[in-house]
Amino acid sequence: MPVSSGVHAALVPGGVIGNGRYRLLAKSGADDRSNAELWRGRDGQLNRDVALTVLLGDLADNEAAARARRTVERAMHAASFTHPGVSRVIDVLTPGIGIRQDEGILGMVVAEWTQGTDLMDLIVEGPLPAGAATRLLEPLGAAIEGAHHAGLVLGADHPQRIRVTSDGRLRLAFPGPRPDAIARDDVKGLGAILYLLLTGRWALPGGPNGVPVAPTGPDGSVVAPNALHPYLPHELSAVAVRSLEDTSVGGIRTSAAILQVLDQIAAEEAETALIPAVASRNDDDQVVWTTQRPVNDKQQKKKLWISVAVLAIATLAVIVWLSVQIVGFFSDEPSKGGGPTVVINQPGSNGQSAPAPTPAGPVQPGQIGVYDVTNQPDNANQASRAVDNNASTFWRTDNYFQQFPALKPGIGLMASFAEPVKLASVTITSPSKGTHIEIRVASSLDAPIEETKVIGVADLSDGQTQIQLNEHEPTGHVLIWITQLTNAGGGKNQSEIREILYTRAQ
């Protein structure tokens, strides 16, 4: 029986839509934000499989009909864009043009079918290793970057619109961006897909039913992947989170920034793959370790995931222990508006504040912590080592593939004093030659970086570097702000601070 106008079509396998041309084979998913169902179908005229994005709604609902028309128009404009990371749009249909007005369908985008598997099937057994996630995501990221240069929005912000090709790359299989989608939504989608691959959790609203939602911190921001799985590279974890954040608080604006990180990690993987296999000394034994990609063996894959699960349990225990150690050191909770995170450590072995300073000479801070504007502080539990009067201990930044400000504007150590002090100099002991340092005074521990004042700058030498400070009012908070890390080559940028000496002015 025909479906009357204003009634949604009941889409079932074996059903025929689009004036009888397309037969529905299997449902691939649904995007509830657009009231769209995603189907694998069969083109009866050309005898080939196709990907169908079917927009359902009430034809009498003018607003819903207008939104569907806008989606179809945007998909039609994207038909001119060709890239391996995007399924080619073959046809678009609207009521009266390819779709009967009694079918209960407001629009349909027809694209070539992508052979392979659903993205969700890929992570059913758990998250992927960083290298595998990077290789999968690069083609989709390149497609998004190319589309944005052409002035197009793809709508790659829902996991069930993505499929994995038979040669191992992610592809937008169901084109058809939402009518109000912008390029920034594609960037967020790319970050959310990366987050999904690394954690098995979806970090944007409107995700599929049954997929775990990404956890959030006290300020509402998404928890970094390496907080869930510490073995993940910091750079990859940071780019996943920053792509989801608003650009007003340091979020990534373009897919090019994501691609730079993906390319760097891919290069690191390629270098590792050049290491020859290590054979056992017993001639009868096989290779015991290799970085070459293993044969696609189901039993071997199962053993790999069991090993990963064991590692995950062990790392979870470490996370719980670290959480207990540092939770008491957090400063005031950062605001939703993107204020910095300062994780406080008390200097000294007994955690007590230093005695009252002498009128002139060295002065010991009462507390010190890692200051970070992206809520991902580097090695927060090591901050007190920079003021423990022991040059054999140290605080070290994470290793970054790109220099600041690619992923964050900088990283620092914020010291607080028992009473306001006026400093003459700061002496830093460090082996990290070339690290660029700014000495800044702040009104509070979590003062935004733009509200701090620079009173001294220097590039560190290998050893001790004394930084003479400009005239300034007495302050209770002094920030050692690093804006350039030591470059060790090969995409390794990292700095280390062994000791900081604060000298009070006369």
Residues 59/65, Cβ–Cβ less than 8 Å = yes
Check residue 294 and give its pLDDT.
42
86 and 16 fall within a common domain: yes
340 and 459 fall within a common domain: yes
pLDDT band with cut points at 50, 70 and 90 for residue 320: low
Domain boundary among 311, 327, 343: 327
For 338-367, the pLDDT digits (tens) are 467 666 555 544 444 444 444 568 999 989
320 and 383 fall within a common domain: no
429 and 310 fall within a common domain: no
272 and 305 fall within a common domain: no
Domain boundary among 243, 273, 292: 292
User: What is the radius of gyration, based on Cα positions, of the chain?
Assistant: 28
Q: CA-CA distance, 506 to 133, in Å (whole number)?
A: 57
- Spell out the long-range contacts of 90-93 with Cβ–Cβ below 8 A and sequence spacing 24 or more: 90/50, 93/18
Q: CA-CA distance, 490 to 245, in Å (whole number)?
A: 29
Q: CA-CA distance, 304 to 49, in Å (whole number)?
A: 35
Share of the chain above pLDDT 70, in %: 79
288 and 298 fall within a common domain: no
pTM above 0.85, yes or no: no
Can you tell me the mean pLDDT for 85-112?
A: 91
For 404-428, the pLDDT digits (tens) are 887 788 999 999 998 999 999 999 9
Check residue 328 and give its pLDDT.
42
230 and 247 fall within a common domain: yes
Residues 481/405, Cβ–Cβ less than 8 Å = no
169 and 277 fall within a common domain: yes
CA angle 326–329–331, rounded 5-degree value: 130
480 contact partners, CB below 8 Å, separation of at least 6:
412, 413, 414, 415, 426, 428, 437, 439, 497, 500
Question: 195 phi and psi, to 5 degrees?
Answer: -60, -40
279 contact partners, CB below 8 Å, separation of at least 6:
285, 286, 287, 288
Domain boundary among 283, 310, 327: 327
Spell out where 105-225 has E strands.
105-112, 116-118, 162-165, 170-172
pLDDT band with cut points at 50, 70 and 90 for residue 270: low
Output the average pLDDT for the chain.
Answer: 82
Identify the domain containing residue 353 by its residue range: 330-504
Can you tell me the mean pLDDT for 489-503?
A: 89
- Whether 252 shows a pLDDT value over 60: the answer reads yes
314 and 414 fall within a common domain: no
User: Measured between alpha carbons, how far apart are the two ends of the chain, in Å?
Assistant: 94
Check residue 101 and give its pLDDT.
81
247 and 309 fall within a common domain: no
pLDDT band with cut points at 50, 70 and 90 for residue 64: very high
250 and 306 fall within a common domain: no
Question: 186 phi and psi, to 5 degrees?
Answer: -65, -40
Q: Looking at residue 257, which CATH number applies to its domain?
A: 1.10.510.10
Residues 472/482, Cβ–Cβ less than 8 Å = no
